[in-house]
Structure 1
Amino acid sequence: MPEPYPTESLDLPRLRYPDRAITPYDGRRLAIVNSVDQSLNRRRSARDWVVDSVAFLLASLVGLILYDQNSADRIPDWMFLADFVSGIALCLLLWFRRRWPIQLAVLSALVTIYSETGGIAALIFAMNVAVYFQLRVTLLIGALNVVSVVLYSLVRETNDPPVLVYATALPLYIAAVGWGSYIRSRRQLLQTLRERAERAESVARLEAEQGQLRAREEIAREMHDVLGHRLSLLSVHAGALAYRPDASTEEIAGAAEIIRSSAHQALQDLREVIGVLRAPVGELPQPTFGDLPVLVEGAQRAGVPVELELDAPGSLPEHVGRTAYRIVQEGLTNAMKHAPDEPVHIEVTGAPGNGLTVVVSNPAPRIRPGDQGQGLKGLRERAALVEGRLEHGRTPEGDFRLSAWLPWPA
C-alpha cells in the first residue's frame, strides 16, 4: 500500500469537490500546485537574475539576427515594423515570465504568427510553461505554437518553402518543451526525495522519543518493584516496634538495624534510578534468577515467615529469570502490605522445555476485590512480554494466590 502524501501544507480550497474526501492523488496534485505557486510568487533570486539576463540577451540577439536575415521577405513595411517592435517587446517580457507564464506563452504564440524577431522568446515561454505546469497545459501551449507556425508560413511570404519552415521550427519547439518537462520532473524528484528525507527524520525522531518513553516506563516499573519491596520491609519492622512496646533492648536494636539497612539500601536503589534518568545512555542494574534466595532471606530477616520451594534445575534465559524474580518480589511486597505476619509460600518449579511455574500464596489477605494497584498490572505486562501468562485471585480456601507460567525453551 503506497504511503499517503502529506497534506498539511496543501491549499484545501483548491479541490474541485470540497465535500469529497482527500485522496492520495488529490494530495499529490495539490502539493504540485502549491509548489508551482510558491515558485511563481517567490522573490527573484540571484540565480534567477542571471538566468533571466541570459535569456533576454540570447532572445534579443538571435531575434535581431533573424530580423535582419528576413528583411527581403515580401511583406508590407508596417508588418516589418510590427515584427521588430513586438519581437523586442516579447524579449522584454521575458523578465515577467514567472509571474504570467501561461498568458505570456499565449501572447507569444499569437505574435509569432507574423514576427520572426520574437521566435526565440516564444520558445523560452513555451519551455517556461513546461517547467511549471502539468503535461496537459504544456501540450495545449505546444499545440497553439504549432498552429502559430502553420499560420506564419501562410502570413509571411518567405523565400523558404513551408516544409523547411516546419522542419526548422517544430523540432525547436519540441526540444524546448521536452527540456522544460525534464526540468520539471527533476524538480519533482528532488522535492519528493527531500520530503522523504524529512519524513524519515521525523519518524526517526518519533521512534527515539518512543524509545525514551519505553525506557522511562521500564525505570518507573523498576522503581515500583524495588522501592516498594524495601519500603514494605520498613513498614513491617516499624509496625512491629509500634505494637511491641514491651520488646527487649536487643529486639529493638535488631529491628532498628534492619530498618536502617533497608532504608540505606532503598536510598542506594533510588540513587541508581535517578542516575539512569540523568544519564544520556544507561541501564538500570537488573536482578537475576540467582538472586531469588537472597530476596527471600531478606524478607525472613525482616520477620516475615516465608517458605521457598525452589526446583528449577538448568540455566534459565536471562529475561525469563528476571521476570520470575520480579513476580516473587511483587508477591512478597503485596503479602507484607495486605497480610502482615501471615506465612507466605513460594513455589518455583520447572525444567527446560516444560516452562517455569511461579506460585506465591498467603492466607487470608485483607485486600478487597478490585483493590489492586499497578503492581499486578505491571506483572501481567512483564509476563506477556516473555510470552507467558499470569493469574491472581482468591482460592476456595480464602487464600490469595499469584500464579505465573513462563516459557523455558529446551
Structure 2
Amino acid sequence: MNVEYRWLLPSVLLGDPDEGRPARRSTRDWIVDILIFLLTCGLVWLTLPDLEGEGRALRMTEQVLGGLSCAAVWLRRRWPVTLSLVATVFSSYFVMVGGVAVVALFTVAVHRPFKISGLVLAANLVTLAPLALWRPDKVLGPLWTAVFGTVLALAVFGWGIVVRSRRQLVHTLRAQAQVAGQEARRLERERIAREMHDVLAHRISILSLHAGALEFRPDAPPEQVARAAGAIRDSAHQALQDLREVIGVLRQPGDDPDEIVPERPQPTLADLDELADESRRAGMDVTLTVEAGQAASASLGRNAYRIVQEALTNARKHAPGAPVRLSVKGGQGEGLTIEARNKIGWPSSIPGAGSGLIGLTERAELAGGRLEHWRTPEGDFVLKAWLPWPT
C-alpha cells in the first residue's frame, strides 16, 4: 500500500506499524499454531450438520469459505485485527466461518490492548443479530442462538484478557528482576570502588612516604636505604595484589545469580594494631587507643578499619610528619566511636581529589551511622565517626 494513502484506512484495520512484518516463530509458537489450526478445523467440521436442507450453492459457498478461513488462521499473528474483523463480517451469515471468528477474537484479546480488542468484541456482538435472524440454530432458535453466541464471545474474550494480563505480569516481573539485578551489580561495583580507593590510597601513600625519605636523605646509611626500599617493594606488591583481586571480581560475568564469589578475608577491629604498626614503620607518629570488645560483627569491624585506614592516609597526605592520635571506643548498644586528630601541616606531593572523605561519609551512612570532620582553632584536623553496634 502506498504510504500517502494509509491515512485513509482506520488504524484499527491496519493494526500496529510492525504488524505486517514477518516474525520468526519459535518451537512453542509452531506447536500452538498447529493446535489452533486443528481446533479451527474441528469447529468448522462441527458446523457441517447445520448445512442440511440448504441449497447447493449455499453449501458450496460455506465449504469454500470454511476452508479458506481455516487457512487464514496462519495469518492471525501477523494481522490479528484484520483477520478478526473480516471473519466477523462473514460470520454474520456464514456459519462455517464462526470458528475462525472465535479464534481471531481470542488472538486479538491476547495481543492487542483493550481500546482495540474492545471494538472487535463489539463488532462480534453486533454481527450476532443478523446471524440469529437469518440463520438461527435449528434447535436453539433465534433468541437462544443470540444468547449462546453472546456468552461464547464474552467467555473467549475474557479468557484472552486473562492470558494477556498474565503475560504482562510475567513481563513486568522479569523487567523488575532485571532492573534489580542491574542495581545490585551497580551497588556492588560502588562498594568495590570504595574498597579499592581505601586500600590503594593507603598503600600508595606509604610507598610515597618511603620514597620521599630516600629522596630527602640520599646519604642515609645503607641499612636504612635497604629497609626503605624493602618497604617500597612490599607496599607496591600489596597494592598490585589488591588491584589484581578487584579487577578479577569486576571481570566476572556474574550470569548465575546463585554463584557466590569468594572474597578475601576482610579486616576487623583486631587488625587495627597491625595497621598502626605499619604506619609507624613508615615513619609516622601514631598513637592508637582501642577500648572496644572483640565481639563486633564483620561489617562493623570492616567499616571501622577502613575509616581508621583513610584517616591515616589523609594524615600522610596533608600533614606529613605530624603526630596522629586515634581512638576507637564503644560497645554493644552504645555504638562505636572513632576519632582521629592530627595537626594541619603542609600537604605532601601526593594528589588528592577529596573523594576519600566523601566515600567514608557514604560508608558510614550506609552502615546507619554518621561521619563528620572539622578544623579546630588550635590548628587540628578532627575526623569523627559513629557506627551503630546492636546488641
TM-score range, shorter chain: 0.7 to 0.9
Pick the aligned partner of 2:96 from 108, 115, 121.
121
The residue aligned with 2:327 is 347
Cα distance in 2 for residues equivalent to 1:332 and 1:184: 70
Alignment of 1:181 onto 2:157? no
Pick the aligned partner of 2:180 from 207, 229, 252.
207
Mapped contact 2:88–2:123 kept (Cα < 8 A):
no
Q: Structure 1 residues 313 and 62 mapped into 2: Cα distance closer, same or farther (>3 Å)?
A: closer
Query: Residue 66 of structure 1 aligns to a residue in which SS?
Result: coil
When normalised by structure 1's length, the TM-score is 0.71
Q: Which has the larger radius of gyration?
A: 1
The residue aligned with 2:387 is 406
Alignment of 1:252 onto 2:225? yes
Cα distance in 1 for residues equivalent to 2:185 and 2:128: 61
Alignment of 1:379 onto 2:360? yes
Mapped contact 2:373–2:382 kept (Cα < 8 A):
yes
Q: Structure 1 residues 292 and 122 mapped into 2: Cα distance closer, same or farther (>3 Å)?
A: closer
| CA shift digits 1:85-137 (9 cap, x unpaired) | 2453244223247655445544554x5xxxxxx5x336547646754475665
Pick the aligned partner of 2:295 from 278, 297, 315.
315
Q: Structure 1 residues 299 and 183 mapped into 2: Cα distance closer, same or farther (>3 Å)?
A: same
Q: Structure 1 residues 181 and 237 mapped into 2: Cα distance closer, same or farther (>3 Å)?
A: same
Mapped contact 2:290–2:329 kept (Cα < 8 A):
yes
Equivalences for residues 161-180 of structure 1 within 5 A: 167-180=140-153
Q: Which moved more, 1:349-358 or 1:221-230?
A: 349-358
The residue aligned with 1:297 is 277
Alignment of 1:238 onto 2:180? no
The residue aligned with 1:24 is none
- Residue type of the alignment partner of 1:272: E
Cα distance in 2 for residues equivalent to 1:152 and 1:224: 82
Cα distance in 2 for residues equivalent to 1:42 and 1:104: 25
Q: Which moved more, 1:331-340 or 1:250-259?
A: 250-259
Cα distance in 2 for residues equivalent to 1:144 and 1:258: 91
Runs of 4+ in 1 over 6 A off after TM superposition: 41-44
Mapped contact 1:359–1:402 kept (Cα < 8 A):
yes
The residue aligned with 1:89 is 61
Mapped contact 1:63–1:87 kept (Cα < 8 A):
no
CA RMSD of aligned residues (A): 3.6
When normalised by structure 2's length, the TM-score is 0.74
Equivalences for residues 383-394 of structure 1 within 5 A: 383-394=364-375
Cα distance in 1 for residues equivalent to 2:35 and 2:61: 23
Alignment of 1:338 onto 2:318? yes
| CA shift digits 1:284-338 (9 cap, x unpaired) | 4311111001100110111111111222245223222221111110010011111
The residue aligned with 2:114 is none
Cα distance in 1 for residues equivalent to 2:60 and 2:291: 100
The residue aligned with 2:3 is none
The residue aligned with 1:270 is 243
Cα distance in 2 for residues equivalent to 1:240 and 1:186: 81
Cα distance in 1 for residues equivalent to 2:355 and 2:341: 19
Percent identity between the aligned chains?
38
The residue aligned with 2:4 is none
Cα distance in 2 for residues equivalent to 1:42 and 1:406: 57
Aligned residue-pair number: 343
Mapped contact 1:355–1:406 kept (Cα < 8 A):
yes
Unaligned runs of 5+ in 1: 1-12, 17-29, 68-82, 112-117, 154-163
Unaligned runs of 5+ in 2: 1-6, 74-81, 110-116, 255-260
Q: Structure 1 residues 53 and 46 mapped into 2: Cα distance closer, same or farther (>3 Å)?
A: same
The residue aligned with 1:66 is 53
| CA shift digits 1:324-370 (9 cap, x unpaired) | 111110010011111111111112222332222111111123359xx
Alignment of 1:357 onto 2:337? yes
Cα distance in 2 for residues equivalent to 1:201 and 1:48: 28
